[in-house]
């Protein structure tokens, strides 16, 4: 791991440490899930939130602790697509949750893999 990545990751982990439970535990787990799903993502603070992008490229996904729930989201630089079979033109880009279980972790990992697979570079 490069020195810049270590500094960025340390900043992300320090940010998560400031959160109240259970969001602190969820944040550490999300950090692990995201990096396990796409190991080449680099963590960094993005608008004060943990964000993840390829190398020094744009942030593709992020999460934050809100008052009552956690938010996990994708930026406009991520690969976004309509959900299969949906008749509308909406593309999901953010999700809220109040607990983090294995099915939620698996879905987030799949979303991160898809977001990183064909992201826009600019």
Judging by beta carbons within 10 Å of its beta carbon (0-12, 13-18, 19+), is residue 62 exposed, middle or buried?
Answer: buried
Determine, yes or no, domain membership for 71.
yes
- How many domains in the chain? 1
What domain range includes position 36?
3-117
Determine, yes or no, domain membership for 18.
yes
For residue 82, the model assigns a pLDDT of 76
Determine, yes or no, domain membership for 59.
yes
Query: Of 115, 19, 102, 14, whose CA–CA distance to 60 is shortest?
Result: 115
Determine, yes or no, domain membership for 122.
no
For residue 1, the model assigns a pLDDT of 52
Q: Which two tokens stand for residue 40?
A: 């080449």
Give this prediction's pTM.
0.88
Q: What is the CATH number of the domain that holds 71?
A: 3.90.1150
Which residues 6+ apart lie within 8 Å of 90 measured at CB?
A: 82
For residue 85, the model assigns a pLDDT of 82
Determine, yes or no, domain membership for 79.
yes
Instruction: List, run by run, the mean pLDDT of 10-residue segments along the chain (122 residues).
Output: 74 97 97 97 96 94 96 93 81 93 97 84 48
């Amino acid at each position: 791991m490069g020195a810049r990545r270590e500094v960025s990751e340390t900043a992300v982990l320090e940010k998560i440490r400031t959160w109240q439970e259970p969001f602190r535990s969820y944040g550490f787990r999300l950090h692990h899930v995201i990096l396990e799903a796409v190991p080449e993502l680099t963590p960094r603070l993005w608008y004060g939130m943990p964000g993840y992008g390829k190398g020094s490229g744009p942030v593709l996904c992020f999460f934050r602790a809100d008052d009552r729930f956690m938010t996990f989201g994708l930026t406009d630089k991520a690969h976004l697509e309509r959900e299969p079979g949906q008749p509308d033109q909406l593309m999901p880009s953010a999700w809220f949750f109040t607990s983090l279980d294995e099915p939620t972790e698996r879905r987030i990992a799949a979303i991160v893999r898809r977001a990183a697979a064909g992201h826009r570079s600019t």
